[in-house]
Amino acid sequence: MSDAALKRCDEVGSSKHPLKDVKFSYGTAGFRTKANTLDPIMYRVGLMAALRSVKFKGQYIGVMVTASHNPVCDNGVKIVDPYGDMMEEKWESYATTLANAPNGELAATLQDIAKALDLNLEDISKAKVIYGYDTRPSCPELVASLVDGFNAIGVEVCKDLGVVTTPQLHFVTRCLNDPSYGEATLEGYYRKIAEAFKKIQGPGKGPEVVLDGANGVGAPRTNDFKKYVGKAFNVTIVNDASHKDDVLNDSCGADFVKVQQKAPNNVTPTHGVHYVSFDGDADRVMYYFFDKDMKFHMLDGDKIATLIGGYLAELVKDAGHSLNLGVVQTAYANGSSTAYLENEMKVPIACTPTGVKHLHHAAKDFDIGVYFEANGHGTVIFDSKVEKKIRDTDASKLSASQQEKHALLLNVIDLINQTVGDALSDALMVEVVLKQKNWTCEDWDACYTDLPNRQLKVSVKDRTAVQVTNAERQTTAPAGLQEAVDEAVAKYSKGRSFVRPSGTEDVVRVYAEAETRELCDQLAYEVAQITHRIAGGIGEAPSQ
């Protein structure tokens, strides 16, 4: 990269995308904040992604523009590594440094970062990037700033994947760098998943599924998928942004269902139907159903993890393989799900801090790692050597029933998007397991009963003052907070509660569970008030 090109990065940055006085930080979900402050960050992420591609000797780096389940006025951007993983954590602080570099100091900061990482800026000319974005109205302008970044730094290739789900961007990024994973197009994505699903489910019509698209990108992309999958996935899409008053994530979507513990708008309760909600970028999924009395029952990420994990453990064994399957959860996993995994399924469990990158990483410690956040974000990953061993198995040496299960397992592997949580692929996987087990949603729900739980938000002066340890289950600062929480929890039967700063919103989150709904709510508010008092709460303390 010439001095002239470096100078151009600075000039375009200062003149077209000047940084105003806002501090940005690359967190759990990349950069995420109010869309109208993001312009300079998009430009700088363009520069950063190019640098990241240099690190991988010109492999494709993905960039996704979305704020997922957050309100429509927010937006965000995250960088995807060549194999579809989230960007390596070590680079997050470099991304933060570049994002906050003063106007006119971009070239010098780029040089510093390249030096610290031992990268040659001359290689930028070989950098390749691919980007996608959700349906937010702020996307076109923000994407233009991102592309300005790519152009200013002089990447070799810059591909526009268009309006896509986050998992589609991860999938295509992976395929561009590893064609053995699939064809690097949206069509390749639809075909791979649809073919696997149809082979497993057979020609018959599947059970009725009503899908809440959160008025986001999951709706049109699932609609596209329907052309490939046919009637095996018998889905009707609601909340597809087709009415003029439809607002992204407003009274709908996976986060609404999980947090409010109720059905979204525009869903007519019918017994026997499978209900599914995606979030705004379709990397999270929630299931729910209405029983005979039309009572709502939620089947969240924990229930999905136990369903898929339990099924895979059996399938692998029945196919004649002996593999180590583990489940990764976070502190938000319902205590009943953890007990069920430990006592009934007897599988190893790992607990990590919130955020998919942590779960994904921990899942790699198993031959088959099943990871889900309670909010429905997750997938299954197969260790690459284990997957190869499965694929290379000489099926003729297996018994007839093992051969059948082995063939099924191969299709199941193709159905799963191993790059990242994928609402569509996860929902199809749930449908597969329910059909294989001949289960209704009631049967699935009966595996264990969730402890009543509640999440609250507390506004504080400075959320970084709350520091955590032990996979975010305990606080180490401010002084006295953990002791006060422990004291409160001890009063409640089956009580559990923790406090942690959000990585995506300017709040501190409180989680509580207890034996009954009433006790749980009491505990949640008690801990929220403690947090407000000890951790510098602003405004009114939360009250019931």
Ligand X SMILES: CC(=O)N[C@H]1[C@@H](OP(=O)(O)O)O[C@H](CO)[C@@H](O)[C@@H]1O
Name 147's Cβ contacts closer than 8 Å, sequence gap at least 6.
46, 131, 158
- DSSP class of residue 284 equals B
Q: Which of the residues 37 through 76 are near ligand X (CB under 6 A)? A: 68
Residue 429 has phi, psi (to 5 degrees) of -65, -40
281 binds, among ligand X, Mg ion, none (CB under 5 to 8 A by kind): Mg ion
**Edge-to-edge strand ranges of the sheet holding 496-501:** 453-458, 508-513, 496-501
Restricting to residues 264-323, name those near ligand X by CB under 6 A: none
Question: Exactly one of 14, 25, 28, 96 binds ligand X (CB under 6 A); which one?
Answer: 28
Q: Which is nearer to ligand X, 28 or 436 (CB)?
A: 28
- What is the rounded CA–CA span in Å between residue 284 and residue 39? 27
Question: Can you tell me the distance from the alpha carbon of 306 to that of 290, in angstroms, rounded to the nearest whole number?
Answer: 20
Identify the three-state secondary structure at position 217: coil
Question: Cβ closer to ligand X: 221 or 358?
Answer: 358
Q: Using CA atoms, how far apart are residues 199 and 31, in angstroms rounded to an integer?
A: 40
Q: Is residue 68 part of an annotated ligand binding site?
A: yes
Pair 109, 121: CB distance under 8 Å: no
Q: What does 97 interact with, of Mg ion, ligand X, none (CB < 5 to 8 A by kind)?
A: none
Residues that bind Mg ion (CB under 5 A): 68, 279, 281, 283-284
The residue range among 84-92, 119-127, 166-174, 373-381 that interacts with ligand X, by the rule CB under 6 A, is 373-381
Output 32 or 192, the one with its CB closest to ligand X: 32
Residue given tokens 């691919």 in the structure block:
130
Checking DSSP bridges between strand 235-238 and strand 209-212, what pairing results, if any?
Answer: parallel
Binding ligand X (rule: CB under 6 A), the pick from 502, 521, 533, 536 is 502
Among 170, 221, 454, 509, binds ligand X (CB under 6 A): 509
92 is in an annotated binding site: no
Residue 501 marked ligand-binding? yes
Is 348 annotated for ligand binding? no
Residue 481: name the closest of 532, 519, 436 by CA.
Answer: 532
Q: Which stretch binds ligand X (CB under 6 A): 8-16, 173-181, 190-198, 503-511?
A: 503-511
Checking 85-90 for CB contacts under 8 A at 24+ apart, the result is 85/357, 85/360, 85/419, 85/420, 86/356, 86/357, 86/360, 86/420, 87/30, 87/52, 89/357
Q: What is the DSSP letter of 102?
A: P
Cis bond before residue 140 (omega within 30° of 0): no
Map the footprint of ligand X across residues 326-365, applying CB under 6 A.
332, 354-356
Does residue 505 belong to the site contacting ligand X (CB under 6 A)?
Answer: yes
**Sign (positive or negative) of CA dihedral 176, 182, 187, 193:** negative
Nearer to ligand X, 142 or 356 (CB): 356
- Please tell me whether 279 is known to bind a ligand: yes
Q: Which CB atom, from 348 or from 503, has the smaller least distance to ligand X? A: 503
252, amino acid identity: C
Choose the contact partner of 373 out of ligand X, Mg ion, none; CB within 5 to 8 A by kind: ligand X
Q: Is there a binding annotation on residue 373?
A: yes
Answer for which of 503, 521, 533, 541 binds ligand X (CB under 6 A) is 503
> Do 340 and 298 touch, CB atoms closer than 8 A?
no
> Cβ 502 to ligand X, closest distance in Å?
3
Query: Distances in Å between the alpha carbon of 6 and those of 105, 127, 130, 534?
Result: 10, 15, 22, 48
- Please tell me whether residue 459 binds ligand X under the rule CB under 6 A: no
Measured CA to CA, the distance from residue 436 to residue 201 in angstroms comes to 9
User: Per rule CB under 6 A, is residue 473 in the interface with ligand X?
Assistant: no
What are the structure tokens assigned to 15, written together?
């003149």
Q: Which of ligand X, Mg ion, none sits in contact with 505, Cβ below 5 to 8 A by type?
A: ligand X
The least CB distance from residue 68 to Mg ion, in Å, is 3
Q: Which one of Mg ion, ligand X, none is in contact with 445 (Cβ closer than 5 to 8 A by kind)? A: none
Q: Which of ligand X, Mg ion, none is residue 10 near (CB under 5 to 8 Å by kind)?
A: none
Angle subtended at Cα 230 by Cα 196 and Cα 132, rounded to the nearest 5 degrees: 70
User: Rounded to 5 degrees, what angle do the CA atoms 155, 159, 162 make?
Assistant: 140
Q: Is 530 in the site for ligand X (CB under 6 A)?
A: no
Query: Is 187 a known ligand-binding residue?
Result: no
Nearer to ligand X, 148 or 373 (CB): 373
For ligand X, the closer CB: 259 or 408? 259
Number of residues written out for the chain = 544
Contact criterion met (CB below 8 Å) for 464 and 534? no
Q: Is 374 assigned to a binding site?
A: yes
> Least distance from C-beta 197 to ligand X, angstroms?
26
Tell me which residues in 390-449 interact with ligand X (CB under 6 A). Answer: none
**Residue 275, CB half-sphere, CA atoms under 13 Å: how many?**
30
Q: Which residue in the list 14, 15, 68, 425 is annotated as catalytic?
A: 68
Number of residues that bind ligand X (CB under 6 A): 15
**Which residue's Cβ has the minimum distance to ligand X?**
503
Name the minimum Å distance from CB 301 to ligand X.
Answer: 9
Q: Can you read off the two tokens belonging to residue 269?
A: 């309760």
Q: DSSP letter at 60?
A: E
Phi and psi at residue 352, in whole multiples of 5°? -125, 165
Q: Which is nearer to Mg ion, 68 or 145 (CB)?
A: 68
Binding-site member from 1, 12, 19, 29 for ligand X (CB under 6 A): 29
The question of whether 322 is a catalytic residue gets the answer: no
Is 40 annotated as belonging to a binding site? no
Nearest residue (CB) to ligand X, 405 versus 463: 463
Binding site for substrate: residue ranges? 373-375, 500-504, 509
Binding site for Mg(2+): residue ranges? 68, 279, 281, 283
Kindly list the residues in this chain that would bind ligand X in the complex (CB under 6 A).
28-29, 68, 332, 354-356, 373, 375, 377, 502-505, 509
Residues annotated as part of the active site? 68
